[in-house]
A and B are shown apart, each in its own frame.
Chain A
Amino acid sequence: MIAMPSHTATVAMEVNDTTVAAAVETRTSLAEFLRVQAGLTGTKLGCEHGVCGACTVLVDDEPTRGCLVFAAQVDGKKVRTVEGLADGRALNRLQQAFHENFGLQCGFCTGGILMSMTSLMEKEPNPSREQIVEWLSGHLCRCTGYETIINAVLAAVAGGEDLR
């Protein structure tokens, strides 16, 4: 008699400085874990094969597709999502710049884009337009045509390094 392998895993991770622990199916993606177990629905699942970028979050400060990593793989790691950017209801400067420059319309892609751009600005405080475009290439937006997003990031960059 062969023991059936377990298809569940107990996962604990730090999400926006709060520990979230749950027993989940091993096939639970990080994005689903964030939405269901952590209750943080700013991270969206779009294509679920790494193309659209809507699920992008930061894992140990690295931009990561939430659909291409299982929650079990993130056990013990630190995750940052779009919910961690604002201070209460006060948007941070990058978010404010998206607001002021019409960098979003329906908002489905925005959480992922904000996390990618946060990572870009942490690695490269003064990114060029070309670098912004390269990082934005990992995201699909069907509303804006991208130009307003680029303008928003450039406006945030012009405001200096501290995004608070």
Chain B
Amino acid sequence: MKSAPFAYARAHSVEEACAMLESDEDAKIVAGGQSLVPMMNLRLAYPSRLVDVSAIPGLSGIESGSDGTLRIGALVTHAQVEHSSTVAEVAPGLQEAVQHIAHPQIRSRGTIGGSLCHADAAAEWPVLLLAYGGSVTVQDRSATRVILADDLFQGVFATALRPTELLTRVDLPAGRRLAFREIERRMGDYGLALVAATCDDIEGPLQNVRIAVGGAVGVTVRASAAEAAVEGKRGDPAVASEAAEAAVRELRIIGDANGSLAYRRHIVHGLVEQVVLTLGAAQ
């Protein structure tokens, strides 16, 4: 159906956008709108005002810093990440993961910043950011701060951002090996379960392993017991199986109409096993 009425304003700077957020506590930021607008059309969201940040200069672009850190502007679309030569060079595997986000017709507009702020536990970017151990830069009118991925996801569709802050940049560390798996019923659907894992991209046993799980959980989380089961070991079948057991034991997995609890546990188990084996296969 049609969204409820709202006021609309295009911001031309971060400061202007933050001022608009300060003046109206029910305002929402819109960039690509690929998560927010469906919620408005379904009347699940009723913002009083949309602050359109898509024309703010300086929030787009993908760069790799001197230490290799991948810096992705908040307005960068999923499609831009998917086709970026910089991303292909410094974050192998990331583009294949991004192709799981909805359809090409959505990836062309949806942004990385919007997806992370929306914080849907069934979405790909939260799982990827958490597995990489990246961070986001957020700004309000008076200050800029960095929020680590570990601190970003606070609850169901809830992040550590304050209502007057705007996410401006996403940083992903260099030198990480990524493995990503997702189960979706149809191409482009939200994942019933998705798991991303990273480790240092070096020879030998797996170091600094991070495993993040989404889809079958209410909030995107790390599977720390599974990480501990893999840390410093080779990603062989015995270790992968141990990690998978640990993950289903430690996580609060939930079932719903799209998949029972038993099924979700089964696929989380399988996906954790697969990502560990994938990390191991490259060592």
The residues of A with any CB-CB pair to B shorter than 8 Å are: 5-7, 9, 25-27, 29, 32, 48-50, 53, 56, 62-65, 67-70, 72-73, 116, 119-120, 133-135, 137-138
5 extra A-B contacts, CB within 8 A, seeds A26-B7, A67-B41, A138-B105: A7-B5, A50-B37, A73-B33, A135-B103, A138-B102
A62 to B111, CA, bound (A): 14
A6: chain B residues within 8 A (beta carbon): 7
Q: What is the CB-to-nearest-CB distance from B111 to chain A, in angstroms, rounded to a whole number? A: 13
B52 lies within 8 A of A48 (CB)? no
A9: chain B residues within 8 A (beta carbon): 8
Query: Pick the contact of B188 from A29, A62, A120, A137 — CB < 8 Å?
Result: A137
SS of B interface (majority): loop
B8 lies within 8 A of A116 (CB)? no
B109 lies within 8 A of A62 (CB)? yes
B52: chain A residues within 8 A (beta carbon): 72-73
The residues of B with any CB-CB pair to A shorter than 8 Å are: 1-8, 30, 33-34, 37-38, 40-42, 48-50, 52, 54, 79, 99, 102-106, 108-109, 186-188
A123 to B102, CA, bound (A): 19
Query: Pick the contact of B109 from A26, A68, A70, A135 — CB < 8 Å?
Result: A68
Q: How many residue-residue contacts, CB under 8 A, span A and B?
A: 96
List of 3 A-B pairs having minimum Cβ-Cβ separation, nearest first: A138-B103, A5-B7, A49-B38
Greatest chain B CB density within 10 A among A26, A53, A135 is at A26
Query: Pick the contact of A27 from B5, B30, B54, B188 — CB < 8 Å?
Result: B5
A27 to B50, CA, bound (A): 10
A26 lies within 8 A of B6 (CB)? yes
A29 to B38, CA, bound (A): 11
SS of A interface (majority): mixed
B105 lies within 8 A of A65 (CB)? yes
Q: What is the CB-to-nearest-CB distance from B175 to chain A, in angstroms, rounded to a whole number? A: 30
Q: Which residue of B lies closest to A133 (CB)?
A: B187
A134: chain B residues within 8 A (beta carbon): 99, 103-104, 187
A32: chain B residues within 8 A (beta carbon): 2
A137 lies within 8 A of B7 (CB)? no
With A5-B49, A26-B6, A27-B2 already in contact, the answer to whether A138 and B106 are too (CB < 8 A) is yes
B8: chain A residues within 8 A (beta carbon): 9, 26, 70, 72-73
A69 lies within 8 A of B37 (CB)? yes
B2 lies within 8 A of A29 (CB)? yes
B48: chain A residues within 8 A (beta carbon): 5
B37 lies within 8 A of A70 (CB)? yes
With A26-B8, A26-B50, A72-B8 already in contact, the answer to whether A138 and B104 are too (CB < 8 A) is yes
With A48-B1, A69-B37 already in contact, the answer to whether A64 and B7 are too (CB < 8 A) is no
With A68-B109, A70-B37, A137-B187 already in contact, the answer to whether A7 and B103 are too (CB < 8 A) is no
